[in-house]
Structure 1
């Protein structure tokens, strides 16, 4: 006998008990059997069998021993039907009992008593004449359905449902061939027919990670910092099933080296799709202005950094870039990075491009300022080199330009659409100063029934940037009031928010009116709402809503980027540092998951990182703009994202 086959039989013989203990059984393939028939018999999927028996994909030979996972699906329901066909006479002998007779005739003691009723009151004696019933036994096996219908819950994506039912996203898609990329609330789909207690729940205190092709425990240890034992403890059943391509794993919150979480909707986690591990070449252009820095002493250097806003901004942004480069390296991505000091001079940008070969550079990030960026973008057009603007908006969108910051118009539209989406009755008020009258009139056209209030002016007609309590009180109504505040003046913003906060939730007891509820919004968030004169308690009380290009990360979320940044720089990252990280991660991951950055716009609709998300759209005649922004609000003195 073949030594390998002998060894296999020996191992199976020894390990049979162990296999059963681990929720597995074995099956010897018979002539003419298919994987589909075997899977149906054991209430599992062909995919489950192939995972444990990969050679079965090539050829399924008779007498092959397959390892079969015991199904978690509802077991078959078996019903026994007995039809009386007659009787056999039996004279009781010495030492016979009801138990021995029932066993001998293959029936129950109750069957004997039923047709020999004297036995209910008397014991069985030697010589008793019994009528032993003969039955025709029919076993009815009601096999359970392998799948059942499931109604998609609000904001529920494929990975959440796959995790709940212990399958991969690919398996879920196989059960639903016509399923669209984005699921709709109320949609009916097929899922495995598990018992209720076997369905897992999504715990928002954890993050979730999708296993990539050919990814083993060793690579997960490098990426997630979790060993096999820790992953198995977090994911019951993983020890038995092993890792599977596309499997969803529960992990500690934000425990990902790159700061990317699994998301729903059309958001894409690019770390799942890395296909190009060749060296990528990127360039950074930032206005460090190192020629102006005094390096004689540490004190002089610190003073130079403090006094130069461009150097300070560049260093913040670059610090986030460095953390991103380290995260990308841990993902196995090879990079060549050139860093150039633009010195905040258009002429220096021209010099940099003239003296260096940008034709073979895959992407450029920067410069920061509009004039220098425009110069770099226009000169790099001849090489078709993609260039990303970190902070600029309303740029000249040449066909090689990617504007990562959403436009002011997009932010304005997001707020207006949010107010319009609320169909409940509401009173709309627009408060503005002399510099924002055009905005007020635009909003009036959007909301015809809105009331407009303007800041008071002095006798010379100059704006004094204030309103009185009576000005606002006269246009408020009981119930919901939406107040737009459009200004760039901090004093005016402070005055209006203070008055509104004093009027919020007030009720007129004499007229028995319901309370006045005020929600404050603006279409243009700016420094006027962030100055020292602004009381954040008032903003929280008014649930101040606005659209922003980024959200604020929560330090309590234990984000891995924030943790890494703190360990390196001994401080928390500011918005510029986070933008440096997010933008660099996105640019490079787009490079290694698509043929080029231009095609990535089509392949990757939406990505999201620590504070920023990117959804690029192409202008009909020109470049690319970010068509995605956040709606946020003040809540208990913190700014949180409004889920829509």
Structure 2
């Protein structure tokens, strides 16, 4: 009887298994992704049932495949049918890319119809056969069927990806023309799973997209959560493990900052391995359309009087010197220089006339609108776009923001002061417009004294002044830190003068600010006073005079007869960093993990991947005035 029951149980279990699972024998060239699509399941589902799979699949491996949750209903499909050819005579400056755009066919289709193009270059006057197609719509049943989904209010890509159990990249693959920012009412293609299989988004939780090569250890540093705690919140992790692109549920009050600790500066020049020629595009507003080539004097005046052109040309000079330095290390570069003219229409024209799909990086443009257009257009091809001299409006997934966020500058300055064990007193002096910053500093330093600028007795508005009596008996014997938070030059000038008069051996005053703006510059500000007060502030760059023996500074002076400006140094630092990173990995994304920090003449770079966006530089200097020089504070 026991044997009969055991046999019955085995038969029932086998039938149940057979109803819910099938097997698949791997063929050469197949991947987990291709098998998953064939059976309309996710790669995570296959990994869960085949935990021994690691790396690439081996032919003849037998996989256990769960039955798909997706409805396999006939779907409308479009296909192109060749109906003939038209003739095209190649004109001067035409390329296969421009011709393919003109006739809305692919370059490969043109080559197939004109086989000589596989071995010969396109020449002016040659007649080409251009294939003509008609679109045929038919219905077909697919293993990997989809359905339409209408975006709800407050829903972004990650919410929809989480809801349907796919990654953000998979959602983008299903919707090639999807907008970067979704709007309520947008229609998207999503896996055609049953309604009760959709995951609910709980507003009482945060959500996080797992980055490539990110493990439980790195997530613990970012979130403070152990593997067990993450698995409790996301039970599927026990079966699938961490996969790039997964969206995880996290506690509501947890903020994933990805805060960077200190690391050793990475010597990329000693790690070079990828010596393929790097394709770089430089998009800057040279505004050559405004240059009169017949008037040298007028052109010189324009360059001299145009701050924008002066910045652009200095940056360009730094780029060229970086290319030369990289060449000496064995890194060759194919540089394409494009003039955006500081116009969105010209930028659009550049994107239409050029194919950037195989470029390693695009540097620029400067204008925010132009940059956003370039970044969003090239995102589908995964081309990194570098915000070199500006902060972009939107940090898309392919954007590298090289200028750190203002809030990080402020935080770095506060952390620097907190690390000073010798401070005796913290004083915060602020105008009315910066009251929120002053109150934030009071929370960071509870014992701090707050002093606000006085109101004008007639207008009742901020008069941007304080009385000398406001500073009486404020500073005890020993060291004091004074935060001066203002955008007013008159207030900054008068406070700096007063503090300098109070500064002595017994009452040592150190002046700092969270935002070193134009209020701290100009003829009303005495640099001697700033030096006496050891004025500290957070900065994106340091002064190259600390390394005035560098080959770059010497070479720049030899070539141009002057010392490099901060824009020339930035052009050099940024471009050399990009080329060195590209020479250490297969692309810029893999070369920009958070444990890689580089430093050059005036700038350093350490990128952190935003939760649902691109890469932001989080390497910051604290600098100070010392003997009328601006040096790095330590």
Q: Which TM-score bucket, shorter chain as reference?
A: 0.5 to 0.7
| SS of equivalent to 1:485 | strand
> How far apart in 1 are the matches of 2:431 and 2:547?
39
> How far apart in 2 are the matches of 1:385 and 1:363?
6
> How far apart in 1 are the matches of 2:283 and 2:605?
21
How does 1:86-485 map onto structure 2 within 5 Å? 265-393=263-391, 395-424=393-422, 426-459=424-457, 460-485=459-484
> How far apart in 1 are the matches of 2:484 and 2:500?
13
Aligned position for 1:531: 522
Aligned position for 2:502: 503
Contact 1:394 1:407 (C-alpha < 8 Å) held by counterparts: no
> How far apart in 2 are the matches of 1:367 and 1:377?
10
Q: CA deviation at 1:497?
A: 0.6
Contact 1:281 1:336 (C-alpha < 8 Å) held by counterparts: yes
Aligned position for 1:633: 624
Q: CA deviation at 1:375?
A: 1.8
> How far apart in 2 are the matches of 1:576 and 1:525?
18
- CA spacing shift, 1:425–1:319, aligned 2, 3 Å: closer
Contact 2:275 2:583 (C-alpha < 8 Å) held by counterparts: yes
> How far apart in 1 are the matches of 2:412 and 2:392?
17
Structure of higher CA gyration radius: 1
Aligned position for 1:587: 578
| SS of equivalent to 2:544 | coil
Aligned position for 1:224: none
**Stretches of 4+ moved more than 6 A in 1?**
none
> How far apart in 1 are the matches of 2:561 and 2:602?
20
TM-score (norm 1): 0.56
Q: CA deviation at 1:424?
A: 3.6
Q: CA deviation at 1:345?
A: 1.1
| SS of equivalent to 2:589 | helix
CA RMSD of aligned residues (A): 1.6
Q: Does 1:621 align with 2:620?
A: no
Q: CA deviation at 1:464?
A: 2.0
- CA spacing shift, 1:604–1:586, aligned 2, 3 Å: farther
Q: Does 1:569 align with 2:567?
A: no
Contact 1:545 1:633 (C-alpha < 8 Å) held by counterparts: yes
Which of residues 550, 557, 563 in structure 1 aligns to 2:541?
550
Q: CA deviation at 1:274?
A: 1.2
> How far apart in 2 are the matches of 1:394 and 1:493?
30
Contact 1:285 1:340 (C-alpha < 8 Å) held by counterparts: yes
> How far apart in 1 are the matches of 2:393 and 2:445?
30
- Farther-moved stretch of structure 1 (405-414 vs 387-396): 387-396
Q: Deviations over 1:541-582 (max 9, x none)?
A: 001111100000116731110000011111100000000000
Contact 1:614 1:628 (C-alpha < 8 Å) held by counterparts: yes
Q: Deviations over 1:159-206 (max 9, x none)?
A: xxxxxxxxxxxxxxxxxxxxxxxxxxxxxxxxxxxxxxxxxxxxxxxx
Q: Deviations over 1:504-524 (max 9, x none)?
A: 017xxxxxxxx2111100001
Q: CA deviation at 1:303?
A: 1.1
Q: CA deviation at 1:317?
A: 0.6
| SS of equivalent to 2:454 | coil
TM-score (norm 2): 0.57
> How far apart in 1 are the matches of 2:507 and 2:371?
49
| SS of equivalent to 2:509 | strand
| SS of equivalent to 1:634 | strand
| SS of equivalent to 1:283 | strand
Q: Deviations over 1:469-491 (max 9, x none)?
A: 21122422222211000112222
Contact 2:303 2:309 (C-alpha < 8 Å) held by counterparts: yes
How does 1:18-33 map onto structure 2 within 5 Å? none
> How far apart in 2 are the matches of 1:639 and 1:395?
31
Q: Deviations over 1:614-642 (max 9, x none)?
A: 00010111100011100111110101111
| SS of equivalent to 2:487 | coil
> Where does structure 2 lack aligned partners over 5 or more consecutive residues?
1-261
Q: CA deviation at 1:586?
A: 0.4
Q: CA deviation at 1:371?
A: 2.3
- CA spacing shift, 1:301–1:385, aligned 2, 3 Å: same
> How far apart in 2 are the matches of 1:619 and 1:453?
37
> How far apart in 2 are the matches of 1:458 and 1:610?
46
Q: CA deviation at 1:370?
A: 2.1
| SS of equivalent to 1:596 | coil
> How far apart in 2 are the matches of 1:530 and 1:538?
12
- CA spacing shift, 1:372–1:474, aligned 2, 3 Å: farther
> How far apart in 1 are the matches of 2:313 and 2:422?
48
Aligned position for 2:493: 494
Q: Deviations over 1:131-159 (max 9, x none)?
A: xxxxxxxxxxxxxxxxxxxxxxxxxxxxx
Q: Deviations over 1:193-241 (max 9, x none)?
A: xxxxxxxxxxxxxxxxxxxxxxxxxxxxxxxxxxxxxxxxxxxxxxxxx
- CA spacing shift, 1:642–1:475, aligned 2, 3 Å: same
> How far apart in 2 are the matches of 1:491 and 1:569?
38
> How far apart in 2 are the matches of 1:555 and 1:298?
37
> How far apart in 1 are the matches of 2:426 and 2:460?
27
> How far apart in 2 are the matches of 1:637 and 1:381?
46
Q: CA deviation at 1:537?
A: 0.6
> How far apart in 2 are the matches of 1:456 and 1:296?
57
